[in-house]
A and B are shown apart, each in its own frame.
Chain A
């Protein structure tokens, strides 16, 4: 793969994280939090950080200026903490527009990895919808375009592959959530040259472990994980108990990090995409991609604990 200026910049940023090598004065002036670890997209070898950013509900704030600015601050903190992948869909109300607003205000961060979806029936309609989405984000092209919830995938996948071949997008994917239509998804994963698949996987919704995650590894398909916190419900439940002391062994300081580390430590997972309206939460979430990750034994311990709660 050829190196883009982005790759080079990321490497420099990575080197910056190795602050002790720099002069002590400079390290003190610019305290850098640890950068999130990254994993390779199997089809290209390009790496992306293990934690991204969702936008369902959280970024659908309409034309409310104050709320748009607040969303922008979440994005600013996301990029500052080393985040790259933002996920949206035309199904998310004004979220795409709000992302476009934020990106413009942030001076179009070069690190952005833009992931959107096509959610409509019909090939022509699909192309028109993707073009509308691109204008809303106000970017030259999407990095990743996914078929939302398998809707009209037979129609859209050929379009997406031809757009990829023409350089109009970089990766092709397909999404589902809540464990829906896994059988059909499995067939598509087995038969089409997908770059990405997006599905629900978390401490309690673990059906994907059975077939989809192993298949993704086998077929070299990157995996984006949605609903890492069950839209917040999981954290509400876990939050009533104290975090176990042994969570410190994997550098967890909160239940959110506990939940995320469980997901991203699965070897098939490329990136989890929690959504948030809060700057402190986005930092905490990216923090889950830094530090130690659980091994097999620890993952089993984590799942067992949550199953008991």
Chain B
């Protein structure tokens, strides 16, 4: 009954089943998906999307600041990834390449978005309930405030801090994703952290 003869995604299937609840196949399985997708296997590409859409969404959501923009970004990232997949060297890791595409897509979307809703982090309005020591705020409220603030950073700073402090990439990996140097990335994340710190202090000062 269960004869798996001639299936394209055999590697991934075995991986999936042996992992139980895990939704992360190993690097070899991912490489298998890439090879299959390059050969035109759309189901294999579907796996690739499934495996990476969470982190692409998370990154785009942080940089762009809204679910709907992030959704648009995720779609565009994977459409571009598929289009350029033939150029991707499957001996390399897929995630850094996808981060790079994500950064490019977010940059394009951010241009449009900011043209329409350009409010800088410095002039971000704080509701009256958002006051007192930052750490005393409810966790959900902290998160909302920081999300809003990151999305109001200049694109490059927002992208750099998201990749570094939210996604946990090294400065070298961030530099690769953003197509820049490590020195530039350090300057961007330093500037972003300084702005976020001032923003948090501004929240705290509202009571005094």
User: Do A and B form a real pair?
Assistant: no
Where the two chains meet, the residues of A that have a C-beta atom closer than 8 Å to any C-beta of B are none
Where the two chains meet, the residues of B that have a C-beta atom closer than 8 Å to any C-beta of A are none
